[in-house]
Every structure is written in C-alpha cells, then in structure tokens.
C-alpha cells in the first residue's frame, strides 16, 4: 500500500479483455491503495466483469461553469463508461465515489434509473428557462449499457414531448436506434448530434476505444442521421498529438462526404490520474510511439503533459497548436464544414399541461 502522493506501481502484467486500462491508479482522495500481487497465476489476475449500481441522485441537470464548452447544463444518465477509452478525461470523476479512474471507471457503472422522471420534473419547474441541454457533458450517453436501460432514449422522449432543445455527442452508432425520436425533435429545430471520430484506422480504434463503435460504424451513423434530416456534425476528439493528428483532414473529408454539417476538435487532455492510465496504455499497446506522443503533448502544453487553464486546455498553445488550428480551419473551409454550433430553438418549448396556440 502507498499514499496517493507517491507514483503508482507498474501496472499489472495482464491486460483485461476489452479494457482501456489494466490497473487502478491511486485515488487522490483515499489514504490507502491496494496493488494486485504481480506473481499471482494468470487465471487469478484482475479481469473484472462490468457491474451496475443504482445512482439515487435527486437531480440530473448538472450546471456547467466552464467557458470552454458551449452549454450551461449537462445530463449524464450514467457515471463511468464501458467504452474504456484510455485517454478519457472523465476518469477522475470516479475518484469522488471512492473508486479508481482505471479499471473501476470502466467496470463500475452507476445508472440513474430515475433520470427521465427527474428530467421531466426539472424541466417542469416554474423557474426553469428553456435552454440547450447537452447529453452528455461527461460520460457517453450511448455506451453499451444504454441497450439495456434505454435511459437516454427515455430522456429524449421527454425532450420531444416538451419540445426542449438538446445536443448530443457520442462515439457509439447505437444513436441510430433513436432516429424516430431525434426526427421529431428536428421538426422543431430542437436537436443537434455530434459523432466523435478519433481515427479512421479500425485497428487503432479498437486499441484506443475497445468497446466503442468502430470508425466505419460512426461514419455510417452520420450518414443515416443526415439522411433522416437530423443536423449532425463530427468531433475529432480527442486529437492525440503524434498519433492521430495527421488524420484530421481525412476524418473531416470523410465525415463531410457522409453528411456532416459542422465540425469541432478537442486536444487530448490528461488531468490527474488519466496521465497514468494513458501512459500505461501507450507502453503496452504502442510502445514505439510512446516517446513521440508524450513529447508532442508536452510541446502543446508548455512542457507539461497537462495544462488546465481555461481557453487552452482544449486547444493547447505553441507552434504545434497553431499548426493544428490552421490545418483544421483550412480543411473545414475546403470541404464545407461549419465550425459554428448549430443554433437550436426554444420557442416551441411547452411544459406539461400547456396547450399550444393554433397560430
């Protein structure tokens, strides 16, 4: 055992199937940390099944104070994410629950079973003023568990009934299941969808995002959503310097051809213990690229692996950051992608029991 201010021990040798992390780094809020025995037999090594826990929260709309994102309220039906992306900036949120940002984050999922009911209650409150809600602000609202619990769909049904604007971002093609509800929202200009495409390489995608949809499936989702008249964009997020940054033009071109209308990007973020998970992932999965990626990250971050300053954490600074921004801008203009957010309407919002005017 060691205290959180010490460097984590080398990760466990075995890599659990379908996971983005193979160990649990120390929780900075906990005094003790348990390390697995490195000498245990292979059949006894850590390879946890996903567990689901009931989240008894009494509120589902989280207020956002960051100027780096374009929404004031986010809705997250789930805490933790099965997608298992080693780079996920949301991992440290699990530390507030007494768990770890490593394997715990992707194998211990909290489920807000009352999310649709609570959303209806909050949107019905006299003080609520209609404004765009983001799903999700943290973890992916279409991660695999959504197939079972359908909470995202139920929340969208509430938004459709009340004609309340919502913007979605996901890296899972499961979103096409809900084209019927999204189409109803689109009738009143109340929805915008963004598919996150990190790479076009299916092998790299499988390593980076083991339980998320592969790149081709995400592009097909863009195609289906666009064909249904649903405003859809692409997010090249995160851009991993030295690994995926060269793919940005190709991603934008392919997404535009599939029907995307707008685009955005976010530079890789490695807050707190995410840097330990991501570094361990690089060492195991892409050892020959590790030094290049980390060196390039430091070049974007003023010599450090992470800079939390607002206005910079999503784009970086320095010559490489300028080059990335220019490449993104030039490509978007060439392929006809807007970099502006899709404006959504609040004029059709109605609270339960209200009747619409005939004129």
pLDDT for 163-199, tens place per residue? 999 999 999 999 999 999 999 999 999 999 999 999 9
Q: In this structure, are strands 73-75 and 78-79 parallel, antiparallel, or unpaired? A: unpaired
Q: How confident is the model at residue 155 (pLDDT cuts 50, 70, 90)?
A: very high
Q: Are 84 and 52 in contact (CB under 8 A)?
A: no
pLDDT digits (tens, 9 = 90+) for 10-63: 444 577 788 988 878 777 767 666 666 666 655 555 567 899 999 999 999 998
Pairing of the two strands 51-54 and 108-111: parallel
Structural domains in the chain plus CATH codes: 42-335 (3.80.30.30)
Instruction: Give percent above pLDDT 90 in the chain.
Output: 76
The pLDDT confidence band at residue 357, using thresholds 50, 70 and 90, is: very low
**pLDDT reported for residue 355:** 53
Q: Is the pLDDT of residue 116 over 50?
A: yes
| Arithmetic mean of pLDDT, 205-230 | 97
Checking DSSP bridges between strand 262-267 and strand 133-135, what pairing results, if any?
unpaired
- Would you state the torsion angle of the CA atoms of residues 75, 87, 240, 283, taken in this order, to the nearest 10 degrees? -170
Say whether 262 sits in a helix, a strand or coil.
strand
pLDDT at residue 109 in the model: 96
Annotate 160-196 with b (16+ C-beta within 10 A) or e (fewer): bebbbbbbbbbbbbbbbbbbebbebbbebbbbbbbbb
In whole angstroms, give the CA distance from residue 203 to residue 164: 39
- The number of beta carbons lying within 10 Å of the beta carbon of residue 291 is 11
Bridge partners of 135? 168
CB 110 within 8 A of CB 136: no
- For residue 36, how many other CB atoms are within 10 A of its CB? 17
pLDDT at residue number 359? 38
SS3 170: strand
Query: Residue 236 forms beta bridges with which residues?
Result: 265
C-alpha pair distances (Å), 144 with each of 106, 111, 188, 212: 11, 12, 29, 8
Where b means 16+ CB within 10 Å and e means fewer, 81-115 reads: bbbbbbbbbbbbbbbebebbbbbbbbbbbbbbebb
- The answer to whether the beta carbons of residues 138 and 179 sit under 8 Å apart is no
- The Cα 30–Cα 27 span in angstroms is 5
Q: How confident is the model over 263-272, as a mean pLDDT?
A: 94
Neighbours of 320 (CB within 10 A): 17
pLDDT per residue as tens digits for the range 281-329: 999 999 999 999 999 999 999 999 988 888 788 899 999 999 999 999 9
pLDDT band at 8 (very low <50, low <70, confident <90, very high): very low
| pLDDT score, position 4 | 36
Residue 76 has pLDDT above 50, yes or no: yes
As given in the structure block, the two tokens for residue 145 are 């568990």
Spatial separation of the C-alpha atoms in residues 351 and 359, rounded to whole Å: 18
For residue 335, the model assigns a pLDDT of: 98
C-alpha–C-alpha distance, residues 214 and 202, integer Å:
6
- Asked whether the predicted pLDDT for residue 157 surpasses 60, the reply is yes
End-to-end CA distance of the chain: 69
pLDDT at residue number 72: 86
State how far the Cα of 343 lies from the Cα of 309, in Å rounded to an integer.
Answer: 27
Tokens of 191: 């929805």
Find the mean pLDDT for residues 263-292. Answer: 95
Average pLDDT score over residue span 204-209: 96
């Amino acid at each position: 055992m060691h205290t959180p201010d010490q460097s984590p021990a080398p990760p466990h040798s075995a890599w659990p199937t379908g996971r983005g992390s193979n160990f649990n780094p120390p929780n900075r809020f906990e005094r003790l940390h348990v390390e697995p025995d490195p000498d245990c037999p292979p059949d006894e090594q850590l390879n946890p099944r996903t567990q689901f826990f009931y989240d008894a929260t009494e509120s589902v709309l989280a207020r956002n104070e960051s100027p780096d994102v374009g929404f004031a309220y986010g809705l997250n039906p789930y805490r933790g994410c099965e997608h298992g992306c080693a780079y996920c900036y949301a991992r440290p949120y699990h530390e507030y629950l007494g768990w770890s940002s490593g394997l715990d984050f992707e194998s211990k999922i909290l489920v807000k079973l009352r999310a649709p009911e609570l959303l209806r209650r909050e949107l019905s409150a006299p003080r609520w003023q209609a404004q765009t809600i983001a799903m999700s602000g943290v973890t992916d609202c279409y991660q695999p568990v959504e197939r079972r619990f359908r909470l995202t769909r139920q929340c969208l049904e509430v938004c459709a009934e009340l004609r309340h604007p919502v913007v979605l971002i996901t890296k899972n093609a499961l979103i096409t299941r809900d084209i019927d509800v999204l189409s109803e929202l689109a009738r009143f200009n109340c929805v915008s969808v963004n598919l996150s495409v990190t790479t076009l390489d299916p092998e790299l995608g499988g390593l980076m995002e083991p339980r998320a949809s592969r790149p081709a499936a995400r592009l097909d989702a863009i195609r289906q959503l666009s064909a249904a008249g649903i405003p859809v964009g692409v997010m090249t997020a995160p851009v991993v310097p030295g690994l995926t940054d060269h793919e940005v033009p190709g991603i934008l071109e392919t997404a535009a051809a599939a029907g995307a209308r707008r685009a955005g990007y976010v530079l890789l973020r490695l807050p707190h213990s995410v840097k330990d998970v991501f570094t361990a992932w690089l060492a195991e999965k892409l050892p020959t690229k590790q030094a290049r990626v980390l060196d390039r990250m430091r070049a974007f971050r003023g010599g450090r692996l992470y800079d939390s300053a607002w206005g910079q954490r999503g784009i970086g600074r320095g010559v490489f950051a300028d080059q990335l921004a220019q490449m993104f801008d030039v490509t978007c203009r060439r392929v006809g992608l807007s970099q502006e957010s899709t404006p959504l309407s609040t004029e059709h919002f109605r609270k339960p029991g209200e009747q619409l005017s005939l004129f």
